[in-house]
A and B are shown apart, each in its own frame.
Chain A
Amino acid sequence: MNHNRNNNTKKNLMTGSKIIIESLINEGVDTIFGYPGGAVLNIYDELLNYKDKIKHVLVRHEQGAAHAADGYARASGKVGVVLVTSGPGATNTITGIATANMDSVPMVIITGQVPTNLIGNDAFQEADTVGITRPCTKHNYLVKDIKDLARTIKEAFYIASTGRPGPVLIDIPKDITSSVYEFDYPETVQLHGYNPTYFGHHIQIAKLASEILKAKKPLLYIGGGVISSNASAELFELAELLDLPITSTLMGLGGFPSCHPLFFGMLGMHGTYAANMAISNADFIVAIGARFDDRVTGKVEEFGRNAKFAHIDIDPSSIGKNVKIEIPVVGDVKSVLSSLLEVLNGRNEEISEAKYERLGWLEEINAWKYEHPLTYKMNDVIKPQYVIEKIYELTGGEAIIATEVGQSQMWTAQFYKFKNPRTLLTSGGLGTMGFGFPAAIGAQMAHPDKIVFDIAGDGSIQMNIQELATAVQYNLPVKIAIINNNFLGMIRQWQELFYHKRYSFSEMNVNPDFVKLAEAYGAVGLRAKDPDDVVPVIEKALSIKRPVIMDFIVDREESVYPMVAPGSPITGMLLV
């Protein structure tokens, strides 16, 4: 750096605001998503001096900032950064923070706070942000002394991005941003209570290796941990080495190429027939960076009822939470898988024997796959699944796909064949409608040259539609595909199946004209009403280097199948 220290003057003195921004730069941050307000005005003023180093994306709602930072983080693997004001600014980010927390996404959220002398006074725009966000962050801080500011930021980034990643919030009172202190960014952190286990235990890994070799009907059940630890390459090597069939959770999609013959699709409530049957018939299941969520397991007592379980996860609290685990391996997925590969290295005879032994098992799963593939019936209206298939084909599976929540999300998971990690951005844990579009904006910021989609329902898209202005302002060519059924489709589906078609408040009787809406924002609007329109509309959208809304008017009462009723065993699938 260029600040030569002069012995006579004080060293490197800065305002709190400058310390914050310099710290961010030290962390390699070049993009932040934010919205100004009184408590962060000092920081915003300083931000103008850093225009060449930090891009600030002005969203239209703080929830949008949180989801955008989240999408940025999921798509890039970097920490997403949010800057918002106190009180309503902070509370508006809560849904976004909880979403990131549930899906273990690394984020740092900086919130302004009223000046220290006013804290606890019900001051204007005061909220107990640290109190409110305690249960939905990995950790949070209130900075009460400028001396702690740089260290706190260092710790926040460290905590957010290591171990099981997650959002960390730093609440900074306004007076701290204007007071002055020496800036000296710490190189290391000292956290006595925080030492994530990175390497798996070698005895456990050896056990795992021999069980995998021994198993007649092994199955890998992968989750989001494969993606957050960047373990796709190791997973691929392992699967191919041993011919291990794979099923994935929603969060794990893209962690293994969907078109690979060893891949049998998503499992769980809307999983494939093959995947759910495989789980129930396997004799050894290795859960990798997955957490046995109830949407995955169905009736948990029946889940993998013929199998022994191994579980690789960085978070010990995920292991053995819902299902009894014979071989727990605590550690980073990537590191554990590469150790596992080392242990297997050279055991060629055992490996080829194991592969030979399980040929029948692969045949069995393939038979399930051909018996009940993912499918739908075409007719003269647009089928939502058809739209997703065409988006897949026309983007060659290379696009980054953010989703909203509901039927369109599930169809995306089923019919878009994800090839690469970090290309599906979806709110799996919290199931947040309104996540997809701002997340797509964040992803597009991280990858300006990639094609980024938000696949949305007509309900979800209206939860953060205001961000269209953001996309237009920053010229982010995000493509929004609205699967428009004029329903809160997933709700309608549950009401159809479990409430005798009593469609209580799930019909979207009034929707805006999405084409005109796009135009009003300065984006492009396209509509497809007929199956023949689908391909031309997608092609047109892809040719336009601006934000586009595609309004696909689809079959209104199409449902997502297979479906397992909540609480039922996952073999109890309703099929098309």
Chain B
Amino acid sequence: MEKTHILSITVENESGVLTRVAGLFSARGFNIDSICVAKTLEKNESKMIIATSGDAQILEQIVKQLNRLINVIKVQEFTDDDSVLRQTVLVKVNADETTKGDIFRIKEIFNGRIIDVSRNHYTLEVTGSEKKIDSLIDILRPLGIKDIVKTGIIALASAKKII
């Protein structure tokens, strides 16, 4: 069955690592739904969070292949249950006198912020789970979404799991 999988990949911070990792996915016909990369606190280390979907057996292959890369230090697989998954979205929506109130209410409900305002548009920033972001988009769509950008998912092992 096709399922979303979140991989957290700790890599050595060397040029070409991103290509090596991404190349593994493309070579096996695996789509990357989102990818986030940034340095960790460790010198010379970065963490990549990759969201991908596909059947579990192919994923197992990918994890093994990732571990084979010399620059990959560690690969973890996350699910909703054992980790916190978040992403941030910026949405620019049409705003006029009749809808501004709605947008404010939506912002409140989703615990977001309005970070940019022009005469005809508001830009909202909302962070949350994939589901939360999806429902935000559903609600805003009728108002007219002018532009949207998502950061892609980031993930951390849940504190509960460690205890």
Contact call A135/B70, Cβ cutoff below 8 A: no
Asked whether any CB of chain A lies closer than 8 Å to the CB of B73, the reply is: yes
Interface string of A302-325 (1 = CB under 8 A from B): 000000000000011100110000
Contact call A320/B60, Cβ cutoff below 8 A: yes
> Which chain B positions have C-beta within 8 A of A147?
none
CA distance A191 to B68 in the complex (A): 12
How many residues of B are counted as interface, with CB atoms below 8 angstroms from the partner's CB atoms? Answer: 20
Asked whether any CB of chain B lies closer than 8 Å to the CB of A159, the reply is: yes
Asked whether any CB of chain A lies closer than 8 Å to the CB of B19, the reply is: yes
**Distance from A141 Cβ to chain B, minimum over Cβ atoms (Å):** 9
Which chain B residue shows the least CB distance to A319?
B64
Interface string of B7-47 (1 = CB under 8 A from A): 00001100110011001000100000000000000000000
Contact call B67/A317, Cβ cutoff below 8 A: yes
Asked whether any CB of chain A lies closer than 8 Å to the CB of B71, the reply is: yes
Contact call A193/B71, Cβ cutoff below 8 A: yes
Asked whether any CB of chain B lies closer than 8 Å to the CB of A505, the reply is: no
Contact call A192/B73, Cβ cutoff below 8 A: yes
Instruction: Given the known inter-chain contacts A134-B16, A135-B27, A320-B60, please indicate yes or no for A193 contacting B65, CB distance below 8 A.
Output: no
Interface string of B69-102 (1 = CB under 8 A from A): 1111110000000000000000000000000000
Contact call B64/A317, Cβ cutoff below 8 A: yes
> Which chain A positions have C-beta within 8 A of B16?
130, 134, 142
> Which chain B positions have C-beta within 8 A of A55?
none
> Which chain A positions have C-beta within 8 A of B135?
none
CA distance A191 to B71 in the complex (A): 8
Contact call B68/A315, Cβ cutoff below 8 A: yes
Which chain A residue shows the least CB distance to B20?
A134
Which chain A residue shows the least CB distance to B71?
A193
Asked whether any CB of chain B lies closer than 8 Å to the CB of A299, the reply is: no
Contact call A193/B70, Cβ cutoff below 8 A: yes
> Which chain A positions have C-beta within 8 A of B20?
134
CA distance A191 to B73 in the complex (A): 9
> Which chain A positions have C-beta within 8 A of B60?
320
**Distance from B16 Cβ to chain A, minimum over Cβ atoms (Å):** 7
CA distance A134 to B11 in the complex (A): 16
Contact call B70/A321, Cβ cutoff below 8 A: no
> Which chain A positions have C-beta within 8 A of B61?
317, 321
CA distance A134 to B23 in the complex (A): 9
> Which chain B positions have C-beta within 8 A of A321?
61
Which chain A residue shows the least CB distance to B16?
A130
Interface string of A123-141 (1 = CB under 8 A from B): 0000000110011001100
Asked whether any CB of chain B lies closer than 8 Å to the CB of A370, the reply is: no
Instruction: Given the known inter-chain contacts A320-B60, A321-B61, please indicate yes or no for A194 contacting B70, CB distance below 8 A.
Output: yes
Contact call A193/B69, Cβ cutoff below 8 A: yes
> Which chain B positions have C-beta within 8 A of A317?
61, 64-65, 67-68
CA distance A191 to B27 in the complex (A): 25
Interface residues of B (CB under 8 A from A): 11-12, 15-16, 19-20, 23, 27, 60-61, 64-65, 67-74
A-B contact pairs, 9 of them (CB 8 A): A134-B23, A138-B70, A192-B12, A193-B70, A193-B71, A193-B73, A194-B70, A317-B65, A317-B68
Interface residues of A (CB under 8 A from B): 130-131, 134-135, 138-139, 142, 159, 191-194, 315-317, 320-321
7 closest residue pairs by CB, A with B: A317-B64, A193-B73, A139-B70, A192-B73, A193-B72, A194-B70, A316-B64
Beyond A193-B71, A193-B73, A315-B68, 4 additional contacts (C-beta under 8 Å) are A135-B23, A138-B70, A194-B70, A316-B64
